[in-house]
Every structure is written in C-alpha cells, then in structure tokens.
Amino acid sequence: MFVIPEIFLAICAIVILFITPFLKKNSYLTISYLSLFVIFLSQFLILKDIFYSEVIFNGFFVVDSFGSFLKSLILIGAGLIFYFYVTVNNPKSLKRPEFAIILLISIVGMLLMISSNDLLSLFMSMELQSLSLYILVSFSRDDFTSSEAGVKYFIIGSLSTCIFLFGTSLVYGLVGSTSFSEISIFMSDLYSTPTMLIVGLIFILVSLSLKISAAPFHMWTPDVYQGAPSIITTLLSTLPKIAAFGVLIRLLVYPFGEIIVDWGKILIILSISSMLIGSLGALRQTDLKRLMAYSTINHIGFILMGLIPGSEDGITSICIYLIFYITMNLGIFLFILNMQRDQVSVTSIKDLSGLYRSQPLTAGCVSIILFSMAGIPPMAGFIGKLIILNIVIDNNLFFLAVIAVLTSVIAAFYYIRLIKSIFFDDPVDELDNISNDHSRYMLCGFALFNLIVVFYPQFFLNICASITLSLFAVK
Amino acid sequence: MINLPILPILIALPLIGLVFIFLSSEEDENAEQSKKSALWTSASNFVLSLYLPINFDKSIPHFQFVNTFSWFNNDSLRFSLGVDGLSMPFIILSTFLILACIIFILPQAKKNMKMYLASFLVLESFLIGTFSALDLFSFYIFFESILIPMYLIIGFWGGERRIYSAYKFFLYTLLGSVLMLIAIIFLYQEFGTISIPKLLDYTLPFYIQIWLWIAFFSSFAVKIPMWPFHTWLPDAHVEAPTEGSVILAGILLKLGGYGFIRFNLSILPDASIFFTPFIYFLSVVAIIYTSYIALVQDDMKKLIAYSSVAHMGFVTLGIFSANIQGLHGAIIQMISHGVISAALFFSIGSIYNRYKTKRIDFFGGLNIKLPKFSVVFLIFTLGSIGLPGTSGFVGEYLTLLAVYSKNTMVAFISTLGVILSASYMLKLYKRVFLGGLSENLDKKKDDINIYEICLYVVLVILIFIIGIKPGLILSYTTASLERIIQFYPISIF
C-alpha cells in the first residue's frame, strides 16, 4: 500500500491520456491544471506515509522517509514547473496536451527510481524516466536545435543504459542476485572485495554520473540544456538530479557501504573534475542556458563531496544543499523562461544588459539568486556550501576543501559577470517587461527564500537529519 | 547599567532606514526624502553608537555588551555579538564615517540616488556586524557580505574603468577570504566551538597554527592590503565614487588590521612570532616601495591610495611587534588613517565636483580660487605626513618606538617612509594649490559650501584631538590589548 503515490500518478497519467481526445482542440491548459492537481494530491499521499518504512514487492521497492522526502521534493519541484508552464508565455510548439502527460510519466519514473531496492527495478524506472525525457527534450519538433538536443540526449542516455546493464550483469554474476539487500549481505560476508565487483560498481557509477552530469561524463549537458525548450531545461537541471542523487546515495550507502574506501576515491575524482570543469568551462559562455549547464556541473561536484564520507551528516548536508540548489535553479530558470524580446524568447547573456534600468525589482531578485549561487554570504547558497565544507573538513579532506573554495571563486567570476551585465551595462535593446504577476511574485519569493535562510538554517537541518536517519536504520 | 541590546539595535537600525528609503516613491536624482531618511538613520545610529564608550567598563579586558542568538539549534553554534576595547573604536569610526558620507552626499545629485543611499546603509549594518561579531561564522558572513554593497557602489557609480575595478575588487577579496573559511571550519571542528572568546583559551600545536595563520593571512593581507597583494586598491580607489573611496580607505582597510589582531595575533601566537620577520619584510617593502610609487602618480586619488598602502605598512609593523606600544600605535594609526584618508578623499571629491578631474597637472594655484579649502587641505596633508600634534604622528611614533625595541634596522628603514610621505604629500600640495594659477582654472567656482565646512571642521578637530590626546582612545583599548599580548615574550629577537 505504500507505493500508492506512484500507482496513483501512473493511473492518473493514463486516465488523462484517455480523456485528452474528448476535449477541445486547445486543451493543453486544462490538461496541465489537471496534472498540477494530480501532483498536489500525490504530494499528500507521500506526506501521509513519510515516517513509514517498509520493503515491498519482494524487495523490489523500498519505502522509507529518506525516499519520501526526496519524492516530495521532486513533487514540489514538479508542481512549480507545471505552474511555470501554465503561467509563462510558452512557444507555440509546447502548447500541446501530450506535454503534461509525458512529464507526469517521467515523474512517475523518478519517484520509482528513488524507491528502487533492486538493480532491475532501478533499471526499469530509470528507463521510464529517461525515455519520457528524450521525448520532452525534442518536443519542439520544428526546431532544429531541440531535435538535435533530443538525439544527443538519446544517444548518450542509451550509452548510459548499456553501461549500467553491463555493470549490473557483473554484479549479478558475482552476487547471484540483483537485490540490494542480497548484495549487502554478500558484501558483509566478504574478507576481500573481488575486483570484478568493483569494476561492476564503477560501470554503474559511470552510468549514474552520466545521469547527474558529473564531469568527465558531462559532455551532453551544455548542448542538451541549450537546445531543449527552456521549460524542459528547468526540469532537466532540477528533478532528474534529485532522483539520480537519491539512487546514488541509496546504492552507495546501503549495498556497497562496505567498500567505501573504493568508491570514495572515485567520488573524489568525480567531484574535483566536476568542480573544475563546471567553473572553468563556464567562463567563456555567451548563452545563459549553456552557462547554467556548467553551473549545474559545478554544483553537482560540490554536492558529490558530501557523499564521500558516506556518513549520516554527509547525506544530511546533501539533502540541504539539494533544497537550496533547486530553489536557486528554479528561480533563475523562471527568469530565463520570462526573458523575451518582442514575444520571442532570448537566452543570450548580452540580453541581460541594463535589466536594472527597465525592471529594477526583477533585476534585484535575479541578482540575489545569482549571489546565492556564487555562495556569497548571507544567501542560502553560502549556508549550503558551509554545511558541505563542514563535512569535508570534518573528514580531514583539506585538499578537497581548498579546491572546492578556489573553484567557487572562479565560479563566482561568471555569476558576477551576469550581475555586472544586469546592473552596470548600458541597455542595448530592452527586454519585454515580465507581464504576468505570477512570475514576478514567484521570483520575489525565490529571492526572499534565498535571503532569509541564513536566519534559521536549523529548520532544514532538523528535517534532513531526521529523514537520513531512516536510510541508516535499514543497515 | 541598563541592559540595552545595543549592538543588535545598531545593526538593525540602518536596515530599518532602508525600508523608509524604498517606501518613498520618488524616483528623481535628488531624492530629497530618501536623503533625509538616510541622514536621520545614520545620525541616530552614530548617536546610539556613543552609548558604547559611555557605558564601557575600561578595566575589563573581556567582551562587553554581549548578545547571543541561537542559529543552528546547537550550543556550539550560536551567533554572538559583543565588543571589547579593540573593536569599539572601529564601530564608532564606522558610524561616524557613514554619517559623514551621507552628509557629503546631501547637496549632490546622482543617478539612482535611492539605491546609492541604500548601499551605504547596508554597508553600515554589515560593518558594525563585522566589528562586533564574536563568533567565527557570523564574522565571516558579515565580512564577506560587505563585498556586495561595495561591488555595487564601485561598479554602478564609479568612473570610466569602474567595471574592471569592481571585478578586481570582488574577486581579489573573495579569493583571499575563502581560505579563511576553511580555517574557520577547521577551528570549529577542532574545538567544537565558534566563539572567539572561548578560542582565546585554547592553544594549538605549532604546525597547525602555521597553516591556519597562512589562511587568515591570505584574507587580511588582501584586505588591509599589504604589498604585493595591494594591486586592487589603487584601481578600486580611482574608479570608486568619492564616498566609496572614503569608506574603502576609512573602514574597509581597517578590517584587515582588525582581523590580524583578532585572529592571527590572538589565536595563533606561535605562528605570529614565527612569521614576524616575513611581515616585517613585507611591511618595509610596502612602506618604501609604495611611497616611491606615490611620488610619480599624476592622479590624486591614486596617490592617496598608494599612500594608504604605505600607512598600512606601519600598522602591520605595529601589530606584529606584539607589544603594547606597537598595538597602540597600530590602533591609533588605523583610526587616524581612517579620519585623515577619509578627509583627503572628501577633499578630492570636493575638487572633483567642481572641476570634474582628478589629474594633478590640470591644477596649479588653486589657493587663489578656493582659499578656505586650501587651508583645510593643508591640515589634512600635514596630518597624513605625521606632523607632531596631528593624529598621524602618534601612530607612526608609537609604531616606530615598538619596532625599534625589536629590530633597529627595520625601524631605521621604515623611518625613511615618514620622510618619503612628506615628500609626496607636500609635492601634491605644491602642484595643486601653490604656484601660478593654471589657465584651466579660469572659471569662477564657489568655495566650499556649508555641508563641506561642517564636515571638514569636524574632521580637523578630530585630527587634532587624537593627535594631542590619544589617551582618549587608548584608555579603552589598553586592557583588551594587554590580554591579547600576555602570551608573547618581551623580546622576540
């Protein structure tokens, strides 16, 4: 009974699919509002069971409060993205009812990913999520860049799937089971780790790195982010990352927790290269969405550092960082969605120049969020970085901490460049004013959130600490 | 003593003033209403900050007016605010200089006046926060937050190359201070506390002290700034608007000196002794080298900026002499430099507002055009040189006295800096105010207005008061400073 939210969402998606043909031609808004309502309901279903913990379907899935927390975070994000979708001025190609349905299905995939307790169920749910995302990325089918991005994403995604299956087969060959609990039992009886198992784990890690776009497996990110419709880029940069991090944490902490020495080193390499590439790669970008792709890579590197010790505190800090990361990213993308000149979307950094002259309030909010992303106190991003660095230094990884702060200075350079354009440059060609009140208020809300977190970060720490407890209780 | 939460009030009041500024709907460049709210806010904040010296118990070396707030619900992670003799003068200096800046802004018109005033009020709040922070995290948060309003002030209202300078300022200081963040987190992990008063009771092993010292040094050396980390300062000063330069030279540089005393000297004594020759070397180079550079500048602001680096060289010499004269000298030098350099930048601002240039060779014989002003400027020049009777003299004299007791050679070389400072400052005065009237200055310009007269008279009085009776400040600081240096041997080498 604990998979009710997923089942409910899946059934609703199918029901909505069936009622679509019976609606009028221009029915995308109705469908979107319906989907928003469905997401709202499933949020309740998740929150109802947030403190339960149970393994279901013969160990195929697990429901615990860690998973439920990430799921509700995904649903909040999904709800906000739906809300963006219905309020902002979308390009014509996106105004189709299928959009909302495919989005719902991908969210079902993400939720299942988080609760997977078996490599096979993980594989299936990951495919469900990815396949829907491939369609969404190439949704503007008349647009050349969108189709190109879709093909790229599909090829890289299929490669990732192959690698994942290969790693799974290696693990299965050694353990004789794909269940996480079986693997965990197998691991705890071992005297020395077989090399093949580590190789298998590395393949799985590579596949998941492709999903979270950690360098050196980040190549697809900038192209796909730039090519995809902005609303999908918003989705790509937030929700799948939470889901993939949920899987990564569960996989590494629970079945492979015994060989932390081995995967810890891999994560160090991944996080250092992500932070370096994320900060250096962004320096010469001229497109805002492409820049946000590199910024994502940089943040992913930062989040990965929290996982290296594999401790409860580390995972708590990851959860907190994820919350802040999502609010920052959604805020920036809400602005990007509204960046239009003469009703046509533009995404170049140059278009930001002189924003302060025409829309001071929006400019202020965007700058607050950008300062937050750069990790300048007293914004939320700083608190997130502080908590993660605290974990890193607690585990005596000083070189990692030094690299992290130095790359965050480099990253600050490009965030500051955006703020420079907004405030100091003379406007070349002014953007349209953000006409809808929803977006304006939401933007203020995100900025305000980033400002006030510093006064009571304890709130987030309490929540995240209590939910990570469940992850370690299984052990 | 009434138990007034004075420090939180001082921090919050500018932010309340901010609300008033944004509530007024006026948009023009004068923004009279906003100017009035800013003036009232900063004036009342200055008056309120005088509560500190009045109720301050001079005999107690510990922190006073302590307020604690829970932050992370955990006993070791609490925000706390408080002052001791070391930080109190700087808080007064901050509130005073912000008030002075607001008064200086009053007769002017600028684009986006509301945001300009707002930046200064935010800056005031953060500055008081930095000087009164009693725990590492809130210190870091305030210390870093200052970058945001300052970046906007330089970048938005600055001169021609303002964007480059704003960048340089932001990234240089950020790069310096992120290493401090690591050191701060390390201290927290090591001792389980972030409270600065508690940290004073611990001693760390030498090899850890070395690394922490370097981390703190990297932050404060950029901020103060020491040679060779000073290159952001001339750019920032030249491009910043007058009031921005005043705050930059008057208070922001002092954050570096304050940090050196508060962290490097107090918490890491062994490493401080170890690194003293290194500091002496950098300070002496700063004093001599930047003085020579100041001699050849043809931009007035740049000249004062380089002279600031030289003066800060005396401060670091004094601090790391680690005896009571040295620290007293450093504090007086910082306060006096805060007043004098602020006065000089205001004066250059007055000149710039009239002639729209800061180039020295544009001027000549300005004393004919602006007679009252040239008298005031002469006093500031002499103060900067360190003429006996002015505040500059006390700081340099005490510092040199302290250094002489440690190392005669260093004292000898840095004394040359005093002579050099006389040569570049007098040269500046000669070229701008004396000599034949330059043909550029034909047009009639008003002599200084009433706002400027008020401001300059107060600054002149302050320079003489500190110069004649430095004990007024030192009586507050002595107890705290003695507590800091009690672990230091009488003679280092």
* Backbone φ and ψ of A118, nearest 5°: -155, 145
Position B68 in a domain: yes
- How many other CB atoms are found less than 10 A from the CB of residue A379? 29
Chain B (154-173) residues lying within 8 Å, Cβ to Cβ, of chain A:
155-156, 162-163, 166-167, 170-171
Position B177 in a domain: yes
* Residue B127: predicted pLDDT: 92
- How many other CB atoms are found less than 10 A from the CB of residue B199? 20
Average pLDDT score, chain A: 88
* Residues A393, B181: C-beta atoms closer than 8 Å: no
Q: How far is CA A362 from CA A90, A335, A464, B155, B335, in A?
A: 19, 8, 31, 19, 40
User: Whole-angstrom Cα distance, residue B374 to residue B146?
Assistant: 34
The shortest CB-CB distance from A416 to any of B72, B167, B175 is to B167
Do the strands B64-74 and B77-83 form a parallel or antiparallel pair, or are they unpaired? antiparallel
Q: How far is CA A202 from CA A159, A171, A192, A242, in A?
A: 15, 10, 17, 20
H or E segment and range at residue B83: strand B77-83
* Residue B94: predicted pLDDT: 92
Instruction: Decide: helix, strand or coil at residue A194.
Output: coil
Residue B87 in tokens = 């930080």
With a cut of 90, say whether residue A65 has pLDDT above it.
no
User: Which stretches of B388-438 are assigned E, i.e. beta strand?
Assistant: none
**Residue found by looking up tokens 């970046």 in the block:** B151
* Residue B489: predicted pLDDT: 66
Burial B468-481 (b: 16+ CB within 10 A, else e): eebeebbebbbbbb
With a cut of 70, say whether residue B344 has pLDDT above it.
yes
| Domains held by chain B: number | 1
User: Residue B219 belongs to what domain range?
Assistant: 6-485
Distance from CA of B74 to the nearest CA of A (A): 9
H or E segment and range at residue B423: helix B408-433
Judge whether A198 is closer than 8 Å to chain B, CB to CB: no
Position B1 in a domain: no
* Residues A402, B179: C-beta atoms closer than 8 Å: yes
Residue closest to B492 by CA, chosen among B393, B410, B418, B416: B410
Half-sphere exposure of B380 (CA within 13 A, CB side): 25
- How many other CB atoms are found less than 10 A from the CB of residue B104? 21
* Residue B75: predicted pLDDT: 65
Judge whether B122 is closer than 8 Å to chain A, CB to CB: no
Position B314 in a domain: yes
- How many other CB atoms are found less than 10 A from the CB of residue A240? 22
Chain B (420-479) residues lying within 8 Å, Cβ to Cβ, of chain A:
none
Q: pTM of the entire structure? A: 0.89
Tell me which of B56 and A475 has the higher pLDDT.
B56
The stretch B197-226 carries a mean pLDDT of: 88
Residue closest to A51 by CA, chosen among A61, A66, A37: A66
Position B493 in a domain: no
- How many other CB atoms are found less than 10 A from the CB of residue A226? 22
Residue B174 in tokens = 């950020």
* Residues A408, B178: C-beta atoms closer than 8 Å: yes
The stretch B393-405 carries a mean pLDDT of: 89
The stretch B188-203 carries a mean pLDDT of: 83
Average pLDDT score, chain B: 86
For chain B, give the percent of residues with pLDDT over 70: 95
The stretch A149-171 carries a mean pLDDT of: 93
pLDDT in tens, A258-288: 888 888 889 999 999 999 999 999 888 889 9
User: Whole-angstrom Cα distance, residue B214 to residue B189?
Assistant: 18
* Residue B492: predicted pLDDT: 47
* Residues A424, B156: C-beta atoms closer than 8 Å: yes
Position B490 in a domain: no
Residue in B closest to A407 by C-alpha: B175
Residue B198 in tokens = 């508690």
Judge whether B419 is closer than 8 Å to chain A, CB to CB: no
Q: Binning pLDDT at 50, 70 and 90, where does residue A164 land?
A: very high
Say if residues A443 and A334 touch (Cβ distance below 8 Å): yes
* Residues B174, A398: C-beta atoms closer than 8 Å: no
Residues near A19 by beta carbon (within 8 Å), at least 6 away in sequence: none
pLDDT in tens, B140-189: 989 999 998 999 899 888 888 888 888 888 888 888 888 899 898 888 88
User: Whole-angstrom Cα distance, residue B112 to residue B124?
Assistant: 19
Q: Binning pLDDT at 50, 70 and 90, where does residue A342 land?
A: confident
* Residues B140, A393: C-beta atoms closer than 8 Å: no
Position B492 in a domain: no
Residue B217 in tokens = 């040094």
* Residue B205: predicted pLDDT: 86
With a cut of 80, say whether residue B73 has pLDDT above it.
no
A176: left (phi over 0), alpha (psi -120 to 50) or beta: left
